[in-house]
Copies of this chain bind each other. A is one copy, B any other.
Amino acid sequence: MNKLIYIADDDDNIRNLLKTFLEREGFHVTGFPNGDKLFEVFSNSPADLIILDVMMPGHDGFFILKEIRKTSNVPIIMLTAKDSDADYIQGLDMGSDDYFTKPFSPVKLVSKVKSVLKRQEEITGKTGDKPDNDAVYEFADIVINRKTKETTMQGKPLPLTPNEYQLLTYLISNRDRAVSRAELLDKIWGYETQVETRVADDTVKRLRKKISKSDAKISTIWGYGFRLVDRSDEDTEDDDGDNQE
């Protein structure tokens, strides 16, 4: 999986310790001496998970946390000193964030990291409301991150070609209705006129093959177009009326 993890801690020993343990587990780790540096880099190249010490030169961990939260839902693990920060911890969004109390066992932190990442995958992999609904499209067991253009099916990466990506995205964003071939050609291929072409069918064909094991299914509306349905709940009603003109 090769996840990228950012660590901000002013203590070199702790940073290197964590780096060592995490890298041993196959993670890609970058350390920062303070939160501001981390934030600066993160703004341009996001990571999969962030570990923040609360006590740091410059802005403290909670400040950085809030800054990051303004634009990202990346999971964040806070490193706190004893109980002193208890009050602040209460305010954390425990859904996507977590905390660890110093001193801590590196082994335990590593397993915490793993569980947080796993949970994150579960959240993105299932139908559950999630904060960043503009950037993430979900349908059944398929998740599309529109910012990173990453697509997953049942948590595993689903490689899509550009056209397939667009088509699937369009179908998902119009999950509540059937879309006609003409509309697909117009929106995705940009054909103004309804040229007699079957490129849409071709792309649907390839897409169907790739998501054949998914709960999501592209059903045909005979004489009209297509519609995305979820096998797990709408399977009983496939055939139905269609078209016009």
> Interface of A with B (CB < 8 Å)?
90-91, 93-95, 98, 108, 111-112, 115, 119, 122-123, 134, 144, 146-152, 156-162, 164-166, 168-170, 173-174, 176-180, 182-183, 186-187, 190, 192-193, 221-224, 227, 236-245
Contacts of A93 in B (CB 8 A): 173
Contacts of A150 in B (CB 8 A): 237, 240-241
Assembled-state Cα–Cα distance A237/B186 (Å): 32
In the assembled complex, the CB of A52 is this many whole angstroms from the nearest CB of chain B, namely: 18
Partner of A223, one of B147, B162, B177, B180: B162
Partner of A160, one of B91, B165, B242: B242
In the assembled complex, 9 residue pairs joining A and B whose CB atoms fall closer than 8 Å, in A order, are A94-B170, A95-B177, A95-B179, A148-B176, A150-B241, A151-B241, A157-B238, A162-B241, A165-B242
Contacts of A239 in B (CB 8 A): 157, 159
Partner of A148, one of B148, B152, B227: B227
**Is B240 within 8 A of A174, CB to CB?**
no
**Is A243 within 8 A of B162, CB to CB?**
yes
**Is B182 within 8 A of A119, CB to CB?**
yes
**Is B240 within 8 A of A160, CB to CB?**
yes
Q: Pick from A93, A98, A176, A183 the residue with the most CB of B within 10 Å.
A: A183
In the assembled complex, the CB of A8 is this many whole angstroms from the nearest CB of chain B, namely: 23
Partner of A244, one of B166, B179, B193, B221: B166
A-B pairs with lowest CB-CB distance, top 9: A160-B241, A162-B243, A147-B177, A151-B241, A165-B241, A162-B223, A159-B239, A150-B240, A157-B237
In the assembled complex, the CB of A171 is this many whole angstroms from the nearest CB of chain B, namely: 11
Assembled-state Cα–Cα distance A243/B166 (Å): 7
**Is B149 within 8 A of A108, CB to CB?**
no
Besides A119-B180, A149-B221, A161-B241, 20 new A-B residue pairs in contact (Cβ under 8 A), listed by A number:
A95-B177, A111-B192, A111-B193, A115-B182, A115-B186, A119-B183, A119-B186, A147-B178, A148-B240, A150-B237, A152-B240, A156-B237, A157-B236, A157-B237, A159-B240, A160-B240, A160-B241, A162-B244, A165-B243, A190-B245
